[in-house]
Amino acid sequence: MFAIKELFGSKFKFSLIALAIGLVVSLTMVTSAMSEGLLTGMSGAKSRLDADALVFQRDTYPTIERSILSADDLDAVAGTSGIAGAYGVGHTYASVGSVDEPFDVRVFGLGGSMDQLPIIEGRAASGHDEAVLDATAELDGVEIGDTITLTPMDASLKVVGFTEGRRYVMVPTVWVDLETWEALHLAALLGAGDDGEQAGEVAAARMAEQFSGSASVAAIDLEPGTTIEEVQRGLGDAYRVAGIQDAADAGNGMPEMILAVNGIQGVSVVIGALLVGVFFYITTLHKTSQIAAIKAIGASNAYLYRDLLLQITVLVAIATVLGTVLALGAGAGMPPMMAFDPDPRRWAVAVLAIFGTAYVGSLFSLRSILKIDPATALGRTSA
Amino acid sequence: MLAINDITKTYGSGRTQVTALDQVSFRLGEGKLLAMIGPSGSGKTTLVSIIAGLLTPTSGEVIIDGHPLHLRSSADAARYRRETVGIVFQEHHLVPYLTARDNLLLVPHLSGRITREDRTRADDLLESFGLADRVSHRPALLSGGERQRVAIARALMNTPTIMLVDEPTASLDTERGFQVVEMLKDQVHERGMTCVMVTHDMRMAEHADERLMLRDGRVVAG
């Protein structure tokens, strides 16, 4: 095909074009991944729980921080029709005070398997007083094997592994089993109850009894064909059920942030795609006399359209590969605190938009060329 | 035999209407080279574009070997140009990223596929134009005269019945211009084609078998 010969015949020119488009592709991908990373940093701990939905205490949705379900509540949830499985998830505030510069964390207790956390370094927590931390805690000086002290509960945990993509409200998370969380949660409440003084033994015992077997929310798996609405009806007004993604996208300013992020991604894709479309419109127009000459020696319009589409497909495909490599390289070079979370679907949308406008831009341009007087197209100024 | 019968071509309408050709007629037999002369804006290129099927006349008809030219679609026109017409442009319009040989092979490529015979024919044509050592050169590496000879060779690639040549010597010095016209004339006589050559240059026109002068879209001498 002569379109391909043109690519190889003008390597430098087309390399520059591919580089320019590749940079546009890369820009839209990096913007998309960084804004997705921002959302993951806000709610990754919630959105990546291994469950279909979360069950909150009445009137607390979407604030996991305020919700509390007793052991009886958890039993009631687990026994509800349409729920295939349920486990408690606990949440509490804490700070890591055993490092040079103390930092805030969110402690999550998992009643389900700890295996749902992807371990990128170390191992999964297997017992009491062991914890897996989000890898961003490494930036605050925490290492595998360290024993960290959480305040205000003054509890010690051994760091046995790091996971990723599990931050919450942009701070690192500490993952422990639900029993450990219960103890930490109780200690936090008692410690905060009387300005640092130990609560009375009676009050402590009463609270321990009250919180025994509790969790903040219940993570549930639905039976096939069961909807969240059906489970909500089954549980009644004492609880609020939300899909895992809906729960993650609610609260903590998430709806506003999602709107802003979608706006940023949308604008970058639209501008990137338009830029590529206009670019191809202009580069095709620059070939007016060449296209007119090939038409004059017998090329049909169909041939010219086909040839142009083939050339653009090859060129944009090369640019897409280049742009993807650049974007992934940029992501790999970013420090963990800089959120970078590629979403293949959003990248695919950006690439499809760029392919689409590249086709539209050049086909519109070719259509214009084929409509004008051939003498003019061939560069004649006199008739 | 090429016959042009009362060809009129107008652009626009109403008060802005411009008549590029006004009832132009002539006949040209096989093996004849016609020089079409006229000042800028006289309608020469418009007439050549109509004969080439690139433009449709407002009225009148083009008759080739006794058959009126009826191009019902752009695909029809493209096929007509591939099979019947050879065109040489003023600025050669060789494809810059193709070698001299590939520029010639573009013609059979547009017809479907390139055969071994096509490759042999392309090499033979280039050799007959003294370009045997330039087959693998791209246009940028050829001189002006060489480019124009490649363009003529390309126009001959499909063994055309009608050859249309637009200002073939415009970018050449006088001596090379004469060489190109002589070469063209030889090919026309040898192959029995009908050739219309547009030129501004009366000295070049004198080498043609016949001459036709256009002014303001009308035949004023011929």
Q: Rounded distance, CA A26 to CA A19, Å?
A: 10
Q: Mutate which of B45, B51, B74, B150 to test chain A, going by most A C-beta atoms within 10 A?
A: B45
Per-residue pLDDT at A197: 54
Q: Rounded distance, CA A73 to CA B82, Å?
A: 83
Contact A134/A108 with Cβ under 8 angstroms? no
What DSSP state is assigned to residue A196? T
Q: Rounded distance, CA A357 to CA A363, Å?
A: 10
Q: Rounded distance, CA B121 to CA A94, Å?
A: 85
CB atoms within 10 A of CB A85: 14
Is it the case that residue B32 has pLDDT exceeding 90?
yes
B3 — contact with chain A (CB < 8 Å)?
no
Q: Where along chain B do its domains lie?
A: 28-57+72-221
**SS3 of B140, please?**
helix
Phi, psi of B173, rounded to the nearest 5 degrees: -75, 170
Is it the case that residue A193 has pLDDT exceeding 70?
no
Which residues lie across from A171 on neighbouring strands? A168
- The number of CA neighbours under 13 Å toward the Cβ of B172 is 26
Q: Is the dihedral of CA B50, B55, B60, B64 positive or negative?
A: positive
Per-residue pLDDT at A99: 83
Q: Is the dihedral of CA A53, A57, A59, A61 positive or negative?
A: negative
Length of chain B measured in residues:
222
Per-residue pLDDT at A196: 47
Is it the case that residue A52 has pLDDT exceeding 90?
yes
Strands B18-28 and A217-222: unpaired
Contact A374/A296 with Cβ under 8 angstroms? yes
User: Which pLDDT tens digit goes with each residue over A24-48?
Assistant: 999 999 999 999 888 989 999 999 9
- How far from B131 is each of A146, B187, B201, CA to CA, in Å? 81, 16, 26
Of the listed ranges A310-319, B99-108, B160-169, the least confidently predicted one is B160-169
Helix then strand then coil, in percent of chain B rounded to 5, is 40, 25, 35
Closest Cβ–Cβ partner in B78, B138, B154 for A300: B78
Tokens found for residue A165 = 């993509």
Tokens found for residue A77 = 């949830």
Chain B residues whose CB is inside 8 A of the A380 CB are 45, 90, 166
Which residues lie across from B33 on neighbouring strands? B195
Q: Which residue type is seen at A100?
A: D
Task: Find the closest chain A residue to B86 by CA distance.
Answer: A297
Is it the case that residue B79 has pLDDT exceeding 90?
no
Query: What is the count of residue pairs from A and B with beta carbons less than 8 Å apart?
Result: 100
Per-residue pLDDT at B170: 74
Task: Find the closest chain B residue to A3 by CA distance.
Answer: B97
Per-residue pLDDT at B139: 93
Nearest chain A Cα distance for residue B87, angstroms: 7
Is it the case that residue A199 has pLDDT exceeding 60?
no
Chain A residues whose CB is inside 8 A of the B44 CB are 383
What is the band of A383 on the pLDDT scale with cuts at 50, 70, 90?
very low
Is it the case that residue A207 has pLDDT exceeding 80?
no
**SS3 of B8, please?**
strand
| Of A247, A245, A231, the residue nearest A77 (C-alpha) | A231
Continuous segment of H or E residues that includes residue A88: strand A83-96
Nearest chain A Cα distance for residue B208, angstroms: 21
Strands A173-177 and A103-110: parallel
Contact A383 B97 (CB under 8 A): no
Q: Rounded distance, CA B83 to CA A297, Å?
A: 10
Length of chain A measured in residues:
383
Nearest chain A Cα distance for residue B135, angstroms: 16
Per-residue pLDDT at A74: 94
- Segment of A364-373, B69-78, B147-156 carrying the highest mean pLDDT: B147-156
Which residues lie across from B137 on neighbouring strands? none
Per-residue pLDDT at B8: 95
Q: Rounded distance, CA A235 to CA A94, Å?
A: 32
Q: Degrees (nearest 5) of the Cα angle A234, A238, A244?
A: 70
What is the band of A382 on the pLDDT scale with cuts at 50, 70, 90?
very low
Is it the case that residue B166 has pLDDT exceeding 90?
no
Q: Where along chain A do its domains lie?
A: 2-43+255-377, 88-212
Q: Rounded distance, CA A176 to CA A110, Å?
A: 6
Per-residue pLDDT at A8: 86
B40 — contact with chain A (CB < 8 Å)?
yes
- The number of CA neighbours under 13 Å toward the Cβ of B118 is 18
Per-residue pLDDT at A1: 66
For B6: left if phi > 0, alpha if psi spans -120 to 50, otherwise beta; the answer is left
Write down the mean pLDDT value for chain A: 88
User: Which pLDDT tens digit goes with each residue over A139-170?
Assistant: 899 999 999 999 888 899 999 999 998 999 99
Task: Provide, rounded to the nearest whole percent, the portion of chain A with pLDDT above 70.
Answer: 94
Of the listed ranges A86-100, A296-310, A341-355, B164-178, the least confidently predicted one is B164-178
Tokens found for residue A154 = 């003054």
Q: Rounded distance, CA B148 to CA B180, Å?
A: 8
User: Which pLDDT tens digit goes with each residue over A56-76?
Assistant: 999 898 889 999 999 999 999
Chain B residues whose CB is inside 8 A of the A290 CB are 93, 95-96
Which residues lie across from B195 on neighbouring strands? B33, B163
Chain A residues whose CB is inside 8 A of the B95 CB are 2, 6, 290, 293-294
Is it the case that residue A122 has pLDDT exceeding 70?
yes
Tokens found for residue A98 = 């055993």
Q: Rounded distance, CA A373 to CA A364, Å?
A: 16
Per-residue pLDDT at A335: 80
Closest Cβ–Cβ partner in A2, A302, A375 for B106: A2
Phi, psi of A219, rounded to the nearest 5 degrees: -95, 125
Q: Rounded distance, CA B154 to CA A139, Å?
A: 69
Strands B218-221 and B210-215: antiparallel
Write down the mean pLDDT value for chain B: 89
Interface predicted TM-score of the whole assembly (ipTM), two decimals: 0.82
Contact B42 A383 (CB under 8 A): yes
B101 — contact with chain A (CB < 8 Å)?
no
CATH code 3.30.870.10 for B28-57+72-221: no
Chain B residues whose CB is inside 8 A of the A12 CB are none
Per-residue pLDDT at A375: 63
Place of tokens 């609020």: A240
Q: Is the dihedral of CA B152, B156, B158, B164 positive or negative?
A: positive
Mean pLDDT confidence for A78-91: 95
Q: Mutate which of B19, B97, B106 to test chain A, going by most A C-beta atoms within 10 A?
A: B97
A225 — contact with chain B (CB < 8 Å)?
no
Mean pLDDT confidence for A1-15: 84
| Of A131, A144, A239, the residue nearest A179 (C-alpha) | A131
Of the listed ranges A96-110, A334-348, B106-120, the least confidently predicted one is A334-348
Nearest chain A Cα distance for residue B97, angstroms: 5
**SS3 of A187, please?**
helix
Q: Rounded distance, CA A20 to CA A15, Å?
A: 9
What is the band of A381 on the pLDDT scale with cuts at 50, 70, 90?
very low
Task: Find the closest chain A residue to B114 by CA distance.
Answer: A1
Is it the case that residue A171 has pLDDT exceeding 90?
yes
Q: Rounded distance, CA B167 to CA B184, Å?
A: 12
